[in-house]
């Protein structure tokens, strides 16, 4: 006995796997010997429009279709573009109208088609053909067709009208009637046998379509990650099209191979795939009128995506050369020292991995400041993502002079003397500490404004000491990479010392040196007590321990004070160093500061797999490395 309800159409016509809603409605209407409008009127939707339903079904529409056909509402919803909203297409909120999609400037819901699929499936088509990413039929290994071969317009193969052709797979567009001036007649071209470009079974175009189809078919919870890869493909693909217009002569052979796969005769001109410009496509047919001027033809999307897929995923012998050609074609007239900020702006929507790859590619051709700001010399370049508050916080973790152990690592061994003069190591250390504030810095807090946060008032001189006096003529990559990773490690793991507090707390007038303890020390070792000059040098060294900064000479100091400080710094006896270290601990305790006297970020042996320092701990033993 039949279980159908009285409202159920007595003729069943189930949808095909992956079929588009308008294709199914048209096929159902044809089965019932009526039109799309007649079908909708019969099921109680006289005001509904198939093109609107294709985008998104309302609840009444879904229920009416379900009640009349028996197809579950969730299956009907999956046959609409709403199932790809905010993923492959964008539907305007509260309206059934397509907006600019996440990829490709393709705003209309017109369909591409595979003639072989239309023949096999009695003129019915899949929803995938409606997406901007559809360019090839992987089953029949054909490039999808865009236009009717006769009228040269995007066909509407699933629009049935009593005035138009009733044949399966016929073009329902109108075209001028030569026999009746000023009138139109149905095109009625057989789309089932329209010409299509065959694709190599093992070619790059089919491989790219298979990858894209796999990304579009992922589960909803996997879509965010799939969308990242789609955006990366898009960012590369439209630049491929730009390169074909501006830099085709320098394109690798792989580019020409893909163009041959797409039919060889590549249609020119074409829109800028970035969506920054939209031009009408020109073709051989004078009657071609494209209602979607911002869209691209199938060969454009196919070639761009295929080449982007190679450049993005690698594995091909020419993938790196292809990637370099794409990046170079994006700014063919720019000089090698292109501003890294301009490059970053152009690639801002390309996804973190591709963005990092582009920035790394540009790294050798940019200035040290930008190399630090974007961490372009590190394994993980990134956009400047730190706020002014973040930089102020980082400044509290950095001494005015870079930690001595790290300074020794960064000093080139063959540049300890420059042009016969000793390198000003303190200036180099000041400059490196200031440069530690640059990675990730916001535009409103440049180096010259950030360096004074450390008490460094000669920022430009110190920076010049680093770049020109010490590293002049040398590769800055080790310096740029180390400082950027060190800054990131400080942000992530912090520091046990608040240098900003120490700089504010300890001065020439506030630091205390215990005279009784010093007297016992000199008696124990049989040293001469020394005069005021010795006291000044020891107080200077005590401040150096506490603040990590070389303080200026006190008022009234001898002319040889600086020389004496340097001698003391490197030649002071170990017992005297230990005594001053204890005095530093007592000064900290007197101010209620529970911190080690000295500290450095862990050395290379304690660096994580990304090259960043692990959680800092411990302090330097007195006398290990001169501060």
Q: How far apart are CA 311 and CA 269, in angstroms?
A: 24
pLDDT of 553: 77
pLDDT bucket at 618, cuts 50 / 70 / 90? very low
Express each pLDDT in 365-405 by its tens digit: 888 999 999 999 999 999 999 999 999 999 999 999 999 99
pLDDT bucket at 552, cuts 50 / 70 / 90? confident
Say which residues have a Cβ less than 8 Å from residue 370's Cβ, sequence separation at least 6: 339, 340, 341, 376
pLDDT of 620: 43
pLDDT of 108: 62
Express each pLDDT in 395-436 by its tens digit: 999 999 999 999 999 998 776 554 545 567 888 999 999 999
Return the minimum-mean-pLDDT range out of 93-102, 119-128, 553-562. Answer: 553-562
pLDDT of 186: 78
Mean pLDDT of the chain: 85
pLDDT of 565: 86
pLDDT of 621: 43
Q: How far apart are CA 138 and CA 321, in angstroms?
A: 28
pLDDT for 68 beyond 90: yes
In this prediction, residues 31-47 reach a mean pLDDT of: 92
pLDDT bucket at 271, cuts 50 / 70 / 90? low
- Inter-helix orientation angle 532-547/561-571, to 10°: 60
**Helices and strands in the chain, H and E counts:** 25, 8
Express each pLDDT in 445-494 by its tens digit: 988 889 999 988 788 888 888 988 889 888 999 999 999 999 999 999 99
pLDDT of 60: 95
pLDDT bucket at 216, cuts 50 / 70 / 90? very high
For residue 269, whether the previous peptide bond is cis, meaning omega lies within 30 degrees of 0, is yes
Specify the pairing of strand 417-418 against strand 421-422.
antiparallel
Express each pLDDT in 221-268 by its tens digit: 999 999 999 999 999 999 999 898 888 889 999 999 999 999 886 665
Q: What is the helix (H) or strand (E) element at residue 186, kind and residue range?
A: strand 184-186
pLDDT of 459: 82
């Amino acid at each position: 006995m039949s279980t159908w309800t009285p409202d159920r159409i007595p003729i069943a016509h189930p949808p095909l796997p992956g079929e588009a809603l308008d294709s199914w409605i048209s096929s159902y209407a044809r089965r019932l010997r009526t039109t799309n409008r007649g079908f909708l009127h019969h099921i109680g939707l006289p005001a509904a429009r198939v093109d609107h339903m294709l985008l998104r079904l309302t609840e009444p529409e879904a229920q009416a279709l379900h009640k009349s056909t028996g197809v579950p509402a969730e299956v009907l919803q999956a046959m609409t573009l709403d199932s790809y909203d905010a993923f492959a297409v964008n539907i305007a909120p509260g309206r059934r109208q397509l907006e600019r999609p996440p990829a490709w400037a393709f705003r209309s819901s017109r369909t591409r088609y595979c003639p072989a699929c239309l023949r096999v499936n009695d003129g019915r088509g899949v929803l995938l053909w409606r997406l901007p990413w559809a360019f090839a039929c992987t089953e029949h290994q054909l490039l999808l067709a865009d236009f009717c071969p006769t009228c040269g317009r995007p066909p509407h193969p699933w629009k049935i009208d009593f005035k138009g052709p009733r044949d399966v797979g016929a073009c329902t567009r109108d075209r001028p009637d030569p026999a009746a001036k000023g009138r139109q007649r149905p095109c009625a071209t057989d789309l089932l046998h329209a010409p299509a470009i065959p694709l190599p079974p093992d070619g790059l175009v089919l491989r790219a379509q298979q990858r894209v189809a796999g990304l579009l078919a992922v589960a909803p919870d996997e879509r965010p990650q799939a969308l990242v890869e789609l955006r990366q493909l898009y960012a590369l693909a439209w630049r491929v099209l730009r390169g074909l217009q501006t830099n085709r002569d320098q394109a690798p052979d792989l580019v020409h191979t893909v163009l041959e796969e797409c039919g060889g005769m590549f249609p020119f001109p074409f829109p800028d795939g970035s969506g920054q410009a939209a031009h009408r496509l020109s073709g051989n047919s004078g009657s071609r009128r494209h209602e979607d001027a911002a869209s691209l033809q199938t060969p454009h999307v196919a070639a761009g995506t295929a080449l982007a897929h190679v450049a993005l995923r690698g594995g091909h012998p020419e993938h790196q050369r292809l990637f370099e050609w794409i990046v170079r074609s994006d700014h063919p007239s720019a000089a090698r020292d292109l501003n890294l900020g301009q490059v970053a702006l152009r690639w801002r929507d390309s996804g973190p991995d591709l963005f990092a790859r582009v920035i790394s590619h540009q790294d050798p051709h940019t200035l040290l400041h930008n190399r630090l700001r974007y961490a372009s010399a590190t394994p993980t370049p990134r956009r400047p993502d730190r706020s002014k508050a973040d930089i102020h916080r980082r400044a509290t973790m950095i001494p005015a002079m870079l930690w001595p152990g790290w300074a020794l690592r960064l000093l080139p061994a063959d540049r300890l003397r420059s042009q016969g003069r000793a390198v000003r190591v303190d200036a180099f250390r000041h400059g490196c500490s200031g440069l530690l504030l640059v990675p990730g810095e916001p535009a409103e807090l440049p180096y010259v404004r950030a360096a004074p946060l450390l008490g460094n008032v000669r920022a430009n001189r110190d920076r010049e000491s680093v770049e020109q006096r010490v590293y002049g003529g040398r590769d800055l990559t080790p310096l740029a990479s180390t400082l950027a990773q060190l800054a990131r490690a400080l942000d992530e793991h912090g520091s046990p010392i608040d240098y900003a507090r120490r700089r504010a707390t300890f001065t020439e007038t506030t630091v205390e040196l215990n005279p009784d303890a010093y007297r016992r020390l000199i008696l124990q070792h049989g040293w001469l007590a020394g005069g005021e000059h010795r006291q000044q040098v020891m107080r200077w060294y005590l401040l150096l321990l506490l603040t990590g900064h070389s303080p200026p000479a006190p008022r009234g100091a001898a002319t040889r004070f600086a020389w004496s400080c340097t001698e003391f710094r490197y030649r002071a006896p170990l017992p005297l160093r230990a005594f001053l270290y204890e005095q530093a601990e007592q000064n900290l305790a007197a101010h209620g500061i529970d911190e080690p006297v000295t500290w450095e970020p862990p050395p290379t042996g304690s660096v994580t797999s990304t090259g960043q320092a692990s959680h800092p701990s411990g302090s330097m033993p007195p006398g290990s490395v001169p501060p």
